[in-house]
Structure 1
């Protein structure tokens, strides 16, 4: 007599549930990543993404959405952290620059989030891997630039701001990042902002851009990963905020000439792992 017990295939790597039971690794991982980001003026989302896909075993789209949720929390708290150095009034006085970049980034964020929800897991992993390589290049060659005069002026600057903002919005939505690693060089080079002001202006552009991408993701069934892992999201976000605060206080102790190449190597190694992820 044959058994009527249904047969289930053995679990594969993609069937393995995420490792979210113990909150300590999530908090510690968020803190370390936040500290790395704080040292160079970023929220750390570009380093958090490979962690979510690797050790915590989230699938690509789930990792992007969770990264977006945590990045929103970190960016929203980063602006007040920086207010003592760059007051809100100073940021508000540069509203034309913010509006210029938002004119492109909001549309890019909506489009990028839509693409991410339609890409197959394999293609999304590979897109993320390529973007990690580009982020590594931006860190090495674009971050920490000395103050420059604006490259363009007048209508040409406005058009360039919209185009660049559109591209940054797409990248930010696809990866679930704030986009500061691309916005800061853009603000310094294209608009002639000093590096401290550029950091705060990038946050002012990032926040609404991320909200648009997050809203677009909320229309996907994959968005349930946030509700299913809300404790994990909160714990890791709190760790990221603490790390960002600590990293900001440590700024200047570790020179960029040492730190940026190390971080770029981390991103390159992560990109290989994400590309090969099954």
Structure 2
């Protein structure tokens, strides 16, 4: 019972960051599970997915209340992401644990550097551009594949691309990315679960904590400047990468 309560508390903390940064908390849940419970990379990714799904659903609801999501665009992104997420998950499950962790650390460093580079740019986010559908289909496909590979949903990839190249503000991009993350996260969770790579009791407890706190993170996201959100995101990603590297 004590372990269950501790997991709820951990999930609550991750839920705040997930709502704040529009990523469902999975990106930070994976390092937390690896470091606190000694889970191998694939098990940590699968368990994090069990926590992330309800967080994402609630996050979408909260973001849509404040900034209406373009559901037509979300459908294109989500449909393509869903189709490719299965392949990413199957590749991840076939890799050995050490190699998977090294690749995941590299992925974290790439995401952190990418976000920091965005801060140096002088792009003006005047609103999501009405680009031709292949652009969104391509983004959805890449996001879905990498989301399945790393068990973090597609939001981590889609959000910086939409702010850097598609003209979306940070908050709008985060809400839209959460909307396309649902099908990919569910598909990836099913795949990991079928291969026995989900610790359900831990994941469910963390999901309860996340659901209780994700709305506070969303509220904070709408009150903080975009550059502050990017700094927070990059900082925590770099810390996670450093801690995981120390475990190799």
Contact between 1:138 and 1:182, CA under 8 Å: does it hold in 2?
A: no
Greater helix share, structure number: 2
Larger radius of gyration: 1
Q: Provide closer, same or farther for how the CA distance between residues 162 and 250 of structure 1 changes in structure 2, counting only shifts above 3 A.
A: closer
> What are the Cα deviations for residues 74-128 of structure 1, in whole angstroms up to 9, with x where unaligned?
11121222332234xx533xx1x22432353223211110011100011011111
Q: Provide closer, same or farther for how the CA distance between residues 146 and 39 of structure 1 changes in structure 2, counting only shifts above 3 A.
A: farther
Q: Provide closer, same or farther for how the CA distance between residues 25 and 263 of structure 1 changes in structure 2, counting only shifts above 3 A.
A: farther
**Corresponding position: 1:210 with 2:185:** yes
Q: How far apart in 2 are the matches of 1:252 and 1:163?
A: 28
Please name the residue that 1:16 is paired with: none
Q: Provide closer, same or farther for how the CA distance between residues 83 and 148 of structure 1 changes in structure 2, counting only shifts above 3 A.
A: closer
**Corresponding position: 1:100 with 2:76:** yes
Please name the residue that 1:45 is paired with: 26
Q: How far apart in 1 are the matches of 2:115 and 2:166?
A: 19
Contact between 1:49 and 1:175, CA under 8 Å: does it hold in 2?
A: no
Structure 1: gaps of 5 or more residues: 1-19
**Corresponding position: 1:176 with 2:151:** yes
Alignment of 1:226-245 (within 5 A): 226=199, 229-230=200-201, 232-245=202-215
**Corresponding position: 1:272 with 2:213:** no
**SS in structure 1 of the partner of residue 194 of structure 2:** coil
- Give the TM-score normalised by structure 2: 0.84
**Aligned length in residues:** 246
- From 94, 99, 112, give the equivalent of 1:136: 112
**Corresponding position: 1:91 with 2:83:** no
Q: How far apart in 2 are the matches of 1:141 and 1:25?
A: 37
Contact between 1:91 and 1:197, CA under 8 Å: does it hold in 2?
A: no
| Cα RMSD (Å) | 2.9
**Corresponding position: 1:71 with 2:52:** yes
> What are the Cα deviations for residues 212-267 of structure 1, in whole angstroms up to 9, with x where unaligned?
222322331x23x33xx42x222211212223212223335554544533442332
Q: Provide closer, same or farther for how the CA distance between residues 124 and 27 of structure 1 changes in structure 2, counting only shifts above 3 A.
A: same
Contact between 1:125 and 1:277, CA under 8 Å: does it hold in 2?
A: no
Q: How far apart in 2 are the matches of 1:148 and 1:255?
A: 15
Q: Provide closer, same or farther for how the CA distance between residues 91 and 131 of structure 1 changes in structure 2, counting only shifts above 3 A.
A: same
Alignment of 1:183-202 (within 5 A): 183-202=158-177
Please name the residue that 2:101 is paired with: 125
- From 35, 50, 53, give the equivalent of 1:54: 35
Contact between 2:11 and 2:51, CA under 8 Å: does it hold in 1?
A: no
Contact between 2:153 and 2:185, CA under 8 Å: does it hold in 1?
A: yes
Structure 2: gaps of 5 or more residues: none
Please name the residue that 1:111 is paired with: 87
Q: Provide closer, same or farther for how the CA distance between residues 153 and 76 of structure 1 changes in structure 2, counting only shifts above 3 A.
A: closer
- Give the TM-score normalised by structure 1: 0.76
Contact between 2:221 and 2:229, CA under 8 Å: does it hold in 1?
A: no
